[in-house]
Amino acid sequence: MQQHIVHSPKPLRIVVLQGGDSAEREISLKSGAAVTEALARRGHRVCAIDPAETPLETVDWPRFDAAFIALHGQFGEDGAVQTLLTGWGVPYTGSRAAASRLAFSKSASKERFLSNGVPTPEYRLVHFSDSRRYLQQVAEELGYPAVMKPDASGSSLGVSILDTPDQLTQAAEKCFEHGPFGLLERFIAGTEWTLGLFDKLCLPLIRIEPRQEFYDFRAKYEDDGTGYCLETGHSPAELSVIEHAGAAAARAIGTKGIARVDLRVDAAGNPWVLEVNTVPGFTSHSLVPKAAQRFGWSFDELCERAVRSCVTHHLRGPHKSQDRANKRSKLSLREAS
């Protein structure tokens, strides 16, 4: 059943936030450009802003109806920009600050999964100051093959699969390039899946078929040979189990708007949630637009729905005290402009 969104004939004034200075800047610029073009085709007045070039405090936010967040990585998915926009009373797409902050930390989100009965691979949180001997001990406890990944990074940056102990040193160096904390995680042999969501609506599942063993950055954004299967050949019952796990993970995090859950499915058909993405990609290789298209929504309509939904939810709601704080923030911005 498609979620009902009230469509107003009035065009909106929208800021698309893109770029930033995270390691995922280039992907964000591509996502932002695609979103900007889509919303313009829908008749909206769109302004693309790169926070790395234009401080958001200098933007005259009262001139705009909403912000579409197409920022990936730090200051896009970690709750920071969401906190600013909330304080300024600006409706924005995607999850709120607390959910974004939780999802951005893989270890914190995995603890939330475990407390809510969501299946996720066993893991240990590690730090760049840990001795190689300690890391080796942790990897041996988890068993090989194992996965090493940054605690807070996306697009598979800094992720390695370790088949043997002698790969650990190089994997650790790669991981800690993206932050002081990392995860050693039990590797789940099987297939790669993703579930896109729009609020509580589950979009069609996608099984991912990279040409190499690991669905890394290159497979995600550069390799046209990566396969995306919407006709999966699985029974409705099998798909329901995977979808249920993904939806439970999104509920545990508290996502809103567009989100994506990445999973592995083992040989016995058991799903294992890897992570939740609160600002998934919007490039030509991105998965949520592919799932939405299968559901019957074009890329342009998906972007339109995301903006209309956030504006509708915003109008339904902040408490009066928050309204007063927002008005004060807007007045100070007018005085500064």
What positions carry a catalytic annotation? Answer: 24, 155, 221, 260, 262, 275, 277, 281
Show the tokens assigned to 327: 């008005």
Contacts of 30-36 with C-beta under 8 Å, sequence gap 24+, read 30/282, 30/283, 30/284, 31/70, 31/72, 31/281, 31/282, 31/283, 31/286, 32/70, 32/71, 32/282, 34/282, 34/283, 34/284, 34/299, 35/68, 35/70, 35/282, 35/303
Task: Tell me the three-class secondary structure of 51-113, residue by residue.
Answer: CCCCCHHHCCHHHCCEEEECCCCCCCCCCHHHHHHHHCCCCECCCCHHHHHHHHCHHHHHHHH
